[in-house]
């Protein structure tokens, strides 16, 4: 089953780049990461989606948004709806830890965002993960279980289930920009737990088809430990994704995983 899941490297540029700088950077990364068998996605800020899409046309690199509003349309000043993103992006990050922290996003809200993605042809990357205190208290698994179960409950409330093409990114929040690092075995264990949770919730094929990415201060120097784990299917890359050489190194290593799984 591992061999059937794609190997994915998604770049989250966060609040970096401008419409003038984003296109050239995306084009450089696309050229430097031409590795067979790896699904590549770049998620720039909203204002850069157009230039990045134009720069990546024909490159094989997909464009993703960093967020989407939970409602289809309405009086939500400053927000961006799924239908606005259709045509500009084909992927979308949902429930990133920074939005949970800074915007107070709840699991129910995130569930509705998954609905908007499905309605508008956006492949969602759903982020889940625990804080340092939760890891220290031994409740990391319970935290992730609660996040997933609450999101699933919201989808069921709308007579829906998880999108068939869903990707989950496990973010140990305590390892993002803190200097602390997770181990490959930590991420692999959580990936296994995520699929057990999905199986218990009745997700088709026990959740074994759902790719799980690692996201926590990913670098070219550290990625090998995570991609060596059969349960990890790629990475959601933050700060390193703004550096061409870092992305080249990360995708090159992902290419080895793709070959080992028969994707290249």
Residues labelled catalytic: 96, 171
| 172 vs 213: CA distance, rounded Å | 11
Asked whether the beta carbons of 168 and 196 are under 8 A apart, the reply is no
Q: CB pairs under 8 A, 24+ apart, for 140-145?
A: 140/172, 140/190, 141/190, 141/193, 144/170, 144/190, 144/193, 144/194, 144/197, 145/193, 145/197
Q: What is the DSSP string of 133-179?
A: HHHHTT-HHHHHHHHHHHHHHHHHHTT----TT-EEEE--GGGSSSS
| 14 vs 66: CA distance, rounded Å | 7
Taking the CA atoms of residue 145, residue 146, residue 147 and residue 151 in that order, the dihedral angle to the nearest 10 degrees is: 100
Give the three-class secondary structure for 129.
coil
Q: Whose structure tokens read 């129910």?
A: 108
| 59 vs 175: CA distance, rounded Å | 32
Q: Could you tell me whether strands 38-43 and 7-12 are parallel, antiparallel, or unpaired per DSSP bridges?
A: parallel
| 130 vs 122: CA distance, rounded Å | 26
Asked whether the beta carbons of 84 and 46 are under 8 A apart, the reply is no
């Amino acid at each position: 089953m591992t061999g059937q899941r794609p190997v994915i490297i998604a770049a989250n540029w966060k609040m970096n780049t401008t419409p003038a700088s984003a296109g050239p950077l995306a084009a450089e990364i696309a050229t430097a990461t031409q590795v067979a068998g790896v699904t590549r996605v770049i998620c720039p800020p909203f204002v850069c989606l157009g230039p990045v899409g134009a720069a990546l046309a024909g490159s094989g690199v997909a464009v993703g948004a960093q967020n989407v509003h939970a409602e289809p349309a309405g009086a939500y000043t400053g927000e961006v709806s799924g239908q606005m993103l259709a045509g500009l992006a084909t992927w979308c990050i949902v429930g990133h830890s920074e939005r949970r922290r800074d915007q107070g996003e709840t699991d129910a809200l995130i569930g509705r965002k998954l609905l908007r993605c499905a309605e508008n042809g956006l492949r969602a990357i759903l982020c889940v993960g625990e804080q340092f205190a939760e890891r220290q208290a031994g409740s990391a698994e319970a935290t992730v279980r609660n996040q997933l179960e609450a999101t699933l409950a919201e989808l069921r409330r709308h007579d829906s289930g998880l999108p068939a093409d869903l990707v989950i990114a496990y973010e140990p929040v305590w390892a993002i920009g803190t200097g602390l690092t997770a181990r490959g075995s930590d991420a692999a264990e959580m990936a296994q737990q995520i699929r057990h949770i999905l199986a218990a919730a009745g997700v088709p094929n026990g959740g074994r088809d759902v790719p799980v990415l690692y996201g926590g201060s990913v670098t070219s120097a550290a990625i090998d430990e995570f991609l060596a784990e059969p349960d990890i299917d790629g990475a959601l890359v933050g700060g390193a994704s703004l550096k061409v050489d870092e992305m080249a190194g990360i995708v090159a290593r992902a290419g080895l995983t793709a070959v080992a799984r028969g994707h290249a």
